[in-house]
Amino acid sequence: MTDGLPISFEDVLAAAARLEGQANRTPVMTSRTFDAMVGASVFFKGENYQRVGAFKFRGAYNHLSTLPSDARRRGVVAASSGNHAQGVALSAKLLGIPCTILMPDDAPASKAAATRGYGATVRTYDRLKDLPEVVVREAAAPTNAYVVPSFDDPKIMAGQGTAALELMRETPDLDLVVTPLGGGGLLSGTVTAVKAISPATRVMGVEPEGADDWVRSLAAGERVLIDPPTTIADGVRTRQPGVLTFAVISRLADGVVTVSDTAIEEATRFMVLRMKTVVEPTGAIPAAALMTGRLGDIAGKRGGVIVSGGNVDAEGLARILVG
């Protein structure tokens, strides 16, 4: 912990050591067409090529690998729309830990199927009526299972920050780094890593207009609970920032902006059709912000983007691609 914040750069480095040989070192991609469109040099960190198809494996494995033996024996429980679910399920399988996942009943079928494929027991809940933190506690109670937080935890945040650590080491001298923003675990880890390496680099978060809990919370100076979000980006349908992530992001990040679902769909189409990379809508959110000028004047700048994941239903992706 540094300067009163829940994570430090040393925590990110420790997470990187734990993940060595477990997480994929994902590629950094470029697109001349995209660069010409936005007037900047943009480097895409492809976490859609990570194990489970998303950055969430990093935080989940970093957290579960440090659990004591008694917690491992009791098993773990987590609530997630899909990517954290898969990250926890695979990490638990690798570490020999029984795992139960609570998923909203409207989560993409592909994410639910993949989670089961990693050996987890999957149960569903109604996200319009039930808070995930409540249903996960209820599921854990009978066996006193360990509840794995989805984002509001130092080891989760530090693990997610290893993606930015790799990006900064491979692509130095970035003027800007951008991530999607839901609960804030990815942005918290990212801003911790980036600011330690390059304090002058701007670090921004982007969330959908229909899930703007961070914009409202930062404006209010406190965590605001919003109504159940409505957005195509299922990975960032959070209702309230975390306690720890709010502390990090409100102190270190350079800002948060929103983009429309229309812009997210357009960015998804571009990345799939022109960059030839499968990306879920959440993973295309930073590109949407760059394409719509939401991040200010970036002319001639070097920007880094964390492409958070690529887990999207074939049917859903087809609807986006045909417009």
Same domain, 202 and 280: yes
Same domain, 22 and 63: no
Instruction: Note whether residue 1 is domain-resident.
Output: no
Start-to-end CA distance of the chain, whole Å, equals 46
Same domain, 164 and 276: yes
How many structural domains comprise the chain? 2
What was the pLDDT predicted at 2? Answer: 58
Element at 159 (helix H, strand E): helix 154-170
Same domain, 32 and 92: no
The rounded mean pLDDT for the chain is 95
Contacts of 283 (CB under 8 A, 6+ apart): 47, 48, 54, 180, 235, 271, 307, 308, 309, 310
Same domain, 229 and 129: no
Same domain, 79 and 49: no
Same domain, 221 and 175: yes
- The domain boundary, picked from 98, 116, 147, lies at 147
Which structural domain range is residue 69 located in? 57-147
Same domain, 72 and 215: no
DSSP character at residue 76 = E
> What span, in angstroms and rounded, lies between the C-alpha atoms of 150 and 84?
6
Instruction: Note whether residue 4 is domain-resident.
Output: no
The owner of tokens 């950055």 is: 55
Digit-coded pLDDT (tens) for 210-253 = 999 999 999 999 999 999 999 999 889 999 999 999 999 999 99
Read off φ and ψ for residue 35, nearest 5 degrees.
-60, -45
> What span, in angstroms and rounded, lies between the C-alpha atoms of 66 and 86?
18
Same domain, 36 and 164: yes
Closest CA to 304 of 186, 179, 158: 179
For residue 207 the two structure tokens come to: 């969330």
Instruction: Note whether residue 317 is domain-resident.
Output: yes
CATH code (residue 227): 3.40.50.1100
Digit-coded pLDDT (tens) for 36-52 = 999 999 999 999 999 99
Contacts of 315 (CB under 8 A, 6+ apart): none
CB 146 within 8 A of CB 71: yes
Same domain, 121 and 230: no
Element at 200 (helix H, strand E): none
CA 230 to chain centre: 18
**pTM recorded for the entire structure:** 0.94
Instruction: Note whether residue 301 is domain-resident.
Output: yes
Same domain, 129 and 49: no
